[in-house]
Structure 1
């Protein structure tokens, strides 16, 4: 009977943490909504992506948070689908690469590299696709002729804001990891 109660408590704790992170991600994104969308963005909630380095539950939590936040995106369904897919990919990669790493600093560095490479590459592809089909809310790049040039333009526009968000989030998550076992 005691194992059953522990199992229920563990499931309840997991679901609560997932809901909390998803809600926090969505709330912070919507709080800065005008600058949280588009090819030049400062989405401070992206700093929460580091959590995936500690526990795989945050892959789903962050993806759900992105989906909720993107419901108000000017790009509509494209951001719902591709933005969520992007988060699943980059947080899953982060979890996979960092799952056996003990150092919080190394986990955060792995997360930063994963998000800034794979995550921003997929997001730049999303903007390139949206512009190519003239989607509502898409933003015209500087190089309207070449798909590669468009993708590169979007990638270069996305990285600085993402880096700033990850840096700030990294400091917060690192400090939190000193007081809270993020893996549990």
Structure 2
């Protein structure tokens, strides 16, 4: 998505920084970051994609590395990373021409929350958890985290231009 001329040292540093923070937050809160009832706090970084598409790579890389520690094994690394990347691309495409920050945030929260069907599906396949109950608990946790993230990044964006 980014051309070589646009992928500067600054881009590389920001990508690595966000991915690294995503991993650190996920692992610090590991007991609540995996499973059928989860509050993966690091998911707040999904919000960043409404400000700049560079964060698609950052968050996807963060999920990839974090999921190496997943009790679900290598499938979670591949499935979770792919689902995250696809979800973030969808968000980017949906909001890229919208100028209202609140509307962008709302779309992001809703899309990410509904994307939790991928987590529920994975838990259903691997651990045989009931799909709809698992979707409900994972989506509820994601909705809480994403709403908090929307508020946090809206405030941060007032002081630091996250679009740059």
Deviations 1:136-180 (A, max 9, x none): xxxxx3xxxxxxxx2212101101211111111111111111122
**Counterpart-to-counterpart distance in 1, 2:77 and 2:59:** 13
Question: Aligned match of 1:58 in 21, 44, 55?
Answer: 55
Match of 2:11 in 1: 14
Q: Does 1:178 align with 2:164?
A: no
Match of 1:108 in 2: 105
Query: In the alignment, is the contact (CA less than 8 A) between 1:78 and 1:130 conserved in 2?
Result: no
Aligned partner of residue 8 in structure 2, secondary structure? helix
How does 1:35-184 map onto structure 2 within 5 Å?
Answer: 35-117=32-114, 119-132=115-128, 141=129, 150-184=130-164
Query: In the alignment, is the contact (CA less than 8 A) between 1:28 and 1:45 conserved in 2?
Result: yes
**Counterpart-to-counterpart distance in 2, 1:165 and 1:152:** 20
Match of 1:138 in 2: none
Structure 1: state its 5+ residue gaps.
1-6, 133-140, 142-149
Rg (Cα) greater in structure = 1
Aligned partner of residue 148 in structure 2, secondary structure? helix
CA RMSD after TM alignment:
1.4
Structure 2: state its 5+ residue gaps.
none
Question: How many pairs align?
Answer: 160
Shift of 1:19: 0.6
**Counterpart-to-counterpart distance in 1, 2:31 and 2:133:** 20
Shift of 1:31: 0.7
Aligned partner of residue 11 in structure 2, secondary structure? helix
Shift of 1:67: 0.8
Q: TM-score, normalised by structure 1?
A: 0.82
Shift of 1:122: 1.3
Query: In the alignment, is the contact (CA less than 8 A) between 1:104 and 1:177 conserved in 2?
Result: no
